[in-house]
Amino acid sequence: MTTTARRGVSRIPVKSLEWAVVALMAILCFDVLWGVFSRDILHNQSSWTEEVATVALIWISFLGAALGFASKAHLGVDYLVGKMDPSARRFARGVSYSAVLFFAAVVLLYGGASLVSKTLEMEQMMASLRVPKGWVYMALPISGAFICFFSIENLIAVFRGETWEEDEAEARNSAECGKHSAERGEKKE
Q: What is the pLDDT of residue 78?
A: 72
112 within 8 A of 140, measured Cβ to Cβ: yes
User: What is the total residue count of the chain?
Assistant: 189
What is the distance between the alpha carbons of residues 188 and 86, in angstroms, rounded to a whole number? Answer: 33
Q: What's the rounded mean pLDDT across residues 129-133?
A: 93
Q: What's the rounded mean pLDDT across residues 40-68?
A: 94
Q: What's the rounded mean pLDDT across residues 86-93?
A: 88
What is the distance between the alpha carbons of residues 153 and 7, in angstroms, rounded to a whole number? Answer: 9
What is the distance between the alpha carbons of residues 86 and 62, in angstroms, rounded to a whole number? Answer: 32
Q: What is the pLDDT of residue 2?
A: 41
Mean residue pLDDT across the chain: 85
> Which of the four pLDDT bands, split at 50, 70 and 90, describes residue 10?
confident
* Residues ≥6 apart with Cβ < 8 Å to 33: none
| pLDDT single digits (tens) 95-122 | 999 999 999 999 999 999 999 999 999 9
Residue 142 pLDDT exceeds 80: yes
Please name the residue ranges forming H helices in the chain: 3-6, 11-40, 49-70, 79-83, 86-103, 112-121, 133-137, 139-160, 165-188
| Eight-class DSSP state of 42 | S
Q: What's the rounded mean pLDDT across residues 159-172?
A: 64
Sign for the pseudo-dihedral over CA of 24, 30, 33, 37: negative
Q: What is the pLDDT of residue 30?
A: 97
Residue 87 pLDDT exceeds 80: yes
Sign for the pseudo-dihedral over CA of 64, 70, 73, 75: positive
66 within 8 A of 17, measured Cβ to Cβ: yes
